Amino acid sequence: MAENNPCDILTSDWNPIIGCQRYSPGCKSCWWFDGIMPWQQRLGNLPKDLQENQALVIEKRFDPKTLRSKRGIIGVVQHGDLFWDKVDDEVIGRVLDMVDADALSRTEKNKKKPDSEADQTKYILWTKRAERMADFMTKRYPKGVPKWLGCGVSVENQKLADERLPHLMRVNGWRFVMIEPMLGRVDLSAYIQQSDWVVVGSETGEEARDIELDWVRLLRDQAVEHEVPFFIKQVGKSHKKPERQLDGREWGEFPQGFNKSSGKRK
């Protein structure tokens, strides 16, 4: 469970649509295509004939109850990319409509609770299709993305960071940089002051490519200097026995207001 996994930034996820395609170097050993999707097909949760490069809308997951039952930090469309070009604008809008309605419902209920019992659930999504995300979010939220929703962009090396992160910086709202799998040195000096969170992770698996700790040190130092929360998911090659320490310390910082156990039901 993500909630009890210290390597995971999420409490849970919500996947009303699934689907993506191998898009850039970090997709070579995609955990979804190579592991989770076949497993879900064997369990009967996904059609057996579902292939890579197909987008699938799962209507029953648009039932408000499927989102209402979750708490903490919810990953939106983790089993795909919400801004993939095979996902229609109308479907993206439906997903965000659900998120906004759920957040507003929680806000209303919080008015009847003491602050200590308030449900502070947050929703985050991240994408490799940064330009489309920035265009969509700025049009949908001309006054700024709501405070309950965080937007991130995934990059693997400096070239992709310089291609994608300028689009992330166009988003008027809470922004984070996801560098996983980290396949090369990434200097965030041009973006760090406009970022609210930096998350780093190595590739895992038998054929995982190496990560150099000096790459991670650079990001840590930039985050610390600018007081940006810094999170290391792993720096080793095993997801079963993750290595999270850098120079004798585990880095698991969350931005203010983001708590995996927020509003947890007893």
Residue partners of 52: CB distance under 8 A and separation at least 6? 20, 21, 22, 33
* Per-residue confidence (pLDDT) for residue 4, from 0 to 100: 74
Give a yes or no: residue 264 inside a domain.
no
Region 29-37: what's the mean pLDDT?
87
* Separation CA 223–CA 191 (nearest Å): 11
Give a yes or no: residue 2 inside a domain.
no
Q: How many domains does the chain have?
A: 1
In terms of residue numbers, what domain contains 170? Answer: 7-250
Give a yes or no: residue 263 inside a domain.
no
Give a yes or no: residue 93 inside a domain.
yes
pLDDT interval class at 241 (50, 70, 90):
confident
Helices (H), 111-154: 130-140
Q: Give residue-wise pLDDT tens across range 53-88.
A: 899 999 999 999 999 999 999 999 999 999 999 999
Lowest-confidence segment of 31-35, 99-103, 246-250 by average pLDDT: 31-35
CB 236 within 8 A of CB 45: no
Region 254-261: what's the mean pLDDT?
93
Give a yes or no: residue 261 inside a domain.
no
Q: Is the dihedral of CA 240, 245, 248, 252 positive or negative?
A: negative
Give a yes or no: residue 259 inside a domain.
no
Give a yes or no: residue 256 inside a domain.
no
Mean pLDDT, rounded, of the chain: 94
The β-bridge relationship of strands 12-14 and 73-76 is: parallel
Give a yes or no: residue 216 inside a domain.
yes
* Separation CA 195–CA 228 (nearest Å): 7
* Per-residue confidence (pLDDT) for residue 266, from 0 to 100: 40
* Separation CA 113–CA 131 (nearest Å): 40
Q: Give residue-wise pLDDT tens across range 149-177.
A: 999 999 999 999 999 999 999 999 999 99
CB 11 within 8 A of CB 261: yes
Which residues pair with residue 57 across a beta bridge?
A: 17
CB 31 within 8 A of CB 92: no
The β-bridge relationship of strands 17-18 and 56-57 is: antiparallel
